[in-house]
Structure 1
Amino acid sequence: MSVQFGIIGGGVMGEALLSRLLVQKLYQPSAVLVSEPQPQRREFLQTKYGVGVTADNQSIVDAASIILLAIKPQVFETVTASLKPSPQPQVILSILAGVPLTRLETAFPGQPVIRAMPNTPATVGMGMTAIAGGEHTQPAHLQQARQIFAAVGEVVEVPESLMDAVTGLSGSGPGYVAVMIEALIDGGVAVGLPRSIATQLAIQTVRGTTELLQTTGMHPAELKDQVTSPGGTTIAGIAQLEQAGIRSALIEAVRAACRRSQELGQ
């Protein structure tokens, strides 16, 4: 079988997409080729998933009809500088934070390029991905991208001008949530809970709250009001959070990550 899907970069996010695409049978292992510089990583991917592996990025460009760029944005120029464009039509999907469509289209002239920003929950099929199409991208190409990224969670389409904002919110967001969960766990320990119990309580509380909001479509403020009774425990805790500036801290975190994404694209 010819190579249909090629991945340049066999790291965590590349593997996350690979594993879900194979589980959902969007591609057969024999139709996938992954380029990865580390021999141990190549061996791991080949053994676990049965896909083709290579250390040569050019072989991906020469063979694949859809290419996923899953490398670090800092090495984008180094990796793409040595690539010779394919004369065959291809779809280029990039998950490189901060790298704009103009730079991607320069590296892959004439090809439809789609910039995407998934996040790490993609590794368990609960990701959030935003996509933005380039100059040569047609609706059919965007539909292909939607199908691929839907394998790891939900997908939205946004103008490229908002991709850095997406990076600051959902791309970096799992880190913010992890810090909040860790703090809740430490808070539980501070008031006497065993760490294992505090961990279970914190994780399931966050998980249940997000599921409730998504299932009901309830606004977060409405849920907050429902669980905040007059003179009760929740309002006491929320008052302390407000005094500590939790809202402004999270807003500034998103802004800082957005700015860093813009810097990476320069």
Structure 2
Amino acid sequence: MPDLMPRSLVLIGAGKMGGAMLEGWLRIGIDPAGISLIDPKPSDEIIELAGAEGLRLNPSAKDIAPAEVLVLATKPQMLDTAAGAVQAFIHSNTLLISILAGKTLGDLAARLPNAGAIIRAMPNLPAAVQRGVTAAVMGNGVSAAQRAAADRLLASIGKVEWLDDEALIDAVTAVSGSGPAYVFYLVECLAAAGVEAGLPADAAERLARATVEGAGEMLFQSPLAPGTLRQNVTSPGGTTAAALEVLMAADGMLPLMHKAVAAAKRRAGELSG
């Protein structure tokens, strides 16, 4: 969909997430000549990529075309100090996409008054392998064309979930933002249980890891609901049913996950407040 490709794109902050987004944009065919990277301490990988692809690295605002899209991917605590420099790259028709955790649309509008169109987005860690999920919410002034362009850019690193209410971002943080860590811990726990059951530690870890990898791929490929997939692998009276009886007990996994997500959501609110 070439009409959705911005011809001038500025990325401010080329760390892990910014770098993952950059690789996604190149993969979907955005012209490298139209991409400018602003990062005071770019990694060796970013310097090498910029040289190989012909990206502009740390140009001044006056030396590049007015940005159609500016993606802000710095550390959230840098917003106040960086705002003046960021302002120089924002023009009347620039769409600002921020992935700064805890920084609301109001925070962004107050510190970057040049920005007339702002989208707040929250990608998660699997964006680094193009399997992330990004929740996004629009501020006032975002056109249909700008939303479509943002959707295209964000979809280069995984799925996109648009929200109507910014207040839901804290819940997103608790579910998908922090969620990969929950899955990694599940693998740790499954491997530890395997050791307790008699497996060698290295074999238990390999089996637990491969099991979650495979189950995740099934979720990715299958249109079936997770509950249906679970039922499909559970034979009445079998081993899986015996384990699920423990996990699905009144004091099992569901209430524990409710408590974990609630704790993460509460902390997200504290950090953004």
Query: If the TM-score is normalised by the length of the shorter chain, which range does it land in?
Result: 0.7 to 0.9
Give me the whole-angstrom Cα distance separating, in 2, the residues matched to 1:61 and 1:136.
Answer: 24
Of the candidates 218, 239, 264, which is equivalent to residue 212 of structure 1? 218
1:229 aligns to 2:229 (yes or no): no
Q: C-alpha displacement at 1:70, in angstroms? A: 0.9
- The residue that corresponds to 1:37 in the other structure is 40
The answer to whether the 8 A contact 1:73-1:99 is kept is yes
Q: What is the rounded CA distance, in whole Å, between the counterparts of 2:261 and 2:172 in structure 1?
A: 9
Letter in 2 for 1:93: I
- 1:114 is paired with a residue of what secondary structure? strand
Counterpart of 1:257, as a letter, is A
Partner of 1:71, secondary structure, is: coil
Amino acid at match of 2:260: A
Give percent identity, aligned residues only: 36
CA distance in 2, matches of 1:55, 1:182: 45
- How far apart are the structure 2 equivalents of 1:192 and 1:55? 59
Give the letter aligned to residue 66 of structure 1: V
Runs of 4+ with >6 A deviation: 58-62
The AA in structure 2 aligned to 1:76 is L
Would the alpha carbon gap of residues 196 and 84 (structure 1) be closer, same or farther in structure 2, given more than 3 Å must change? same
1:7 aligns with 2:11: yes
Deviation at 1:36, TM superposition (A): 1.9
Instruction: Find 1:247's aligned residue among 250, 254, 261.
Output: 254
Contact 1:14 1:70 in 2 (8 A): yes
| Alpha-carbon displacement from aligned partner over 1:215-251 (angstroms, at most 9, x marks no partner) | 3332322332333333322222223334563222222
For residues 25-63 of structure 1, what are the alpha-carbon distances to aligned partners after superposition, in whole Å with 9 as ceiling and x for unaligned?
Answer: 2231x3222222325x2x43121343332297x679985
The one of 198, 202, 205 equivalent to 1:199 is 205
* Structure 1 contact 164–258 (Cα < 8 Å) conserved: yes
1:127-155 CA-to-partner distances (Å, cap 9, x unmatched) read 10111111111111110110001111111
Counting only pairs closer than 5 Å after superposition, residues 60-99 of structure 1 correspond to structure 2 as 64-80=67-83, 83-85=86-88, 86-99=90-103
Task: Indicate which of 30, 37, 62 corresponds to 1:26.
Answer: 30
Letter in 2 for 1:188: G
Counterparts of 2:63 and 2:124, CA distance in 1: 24
Counterpart of 1:136 (choices 141, 146, 169) is 141
Q: Which whole-Å CA distance do the structure 2 matches of 1:140 and 1:35 have between them?
A: 25
TM-score, normalised by the number of residues in structure 2: 0.84
Q: Secondary structure at the match of 1:132?
A: strand
Aligned to 1:257: 264
Q: Relative to structure 1, is the Cα distance of residues 92 and 169 closer, same or farther in structure 2, using a 3 angstrom cutoff?
A: same
* Aligned-pair CA distance for 1:82: 5.4
How many residues of Structure 1 are paired with residues of Structure 2 in the alignment?
261
**Which position in structure 1 is the counterpart of 2:48?**
47
Distance 1:7 1:191, change over 3 A: same
Q: Does structure 1 conserve the Cα–Cα contact (< 8 Å) formed by 2:66 and 2:91?
A: no
Match of 1:240, as an amino acid?
Answer: V
Q: Using a 3 Å threshold, how does the CA distance of structure 1 residues 3 and 24 change in structure 2: closer, same or farther?
A: closer
Contact 1:65 1:89 in 2 (8 A): yes
1:238 equivalenced with 2:244 (yes/no): yes
Q: How far, CA to CA, are the matches of 2:68 and 2:106 in structure 1?
A: 21
Whole-angstrom distance in 2 between the partners of 1:61 and 1:201: 51
**Which residue among 151, 155, 162 is the counterpart of 1:157?**
162
Please list every run of 5 or more consecutive structure 1 residues that lacks an aligned counterpart in the other structure.
Answer: none
| Deviations, residues 58-117 of structure 1 (Å, cap 9, x unaligned) | 679985331111122233223225544544421111111221111112223242100111
Q: TM-score, normalised by structure 1?
A: 0.86
User: CA offset at residue 256 of structure 1?
Assistant: 1.9
The answer as to whether partners of 1:168 and 1:255 remain within 8 angstroms in 2 is yes
| Match of residue 114, structure 1, among 90, 110, 119 | 119
Q: Could you say what secondary structure the match of 2:46 adopts?
A: helix
CA root-mean-square deviation: 2.6
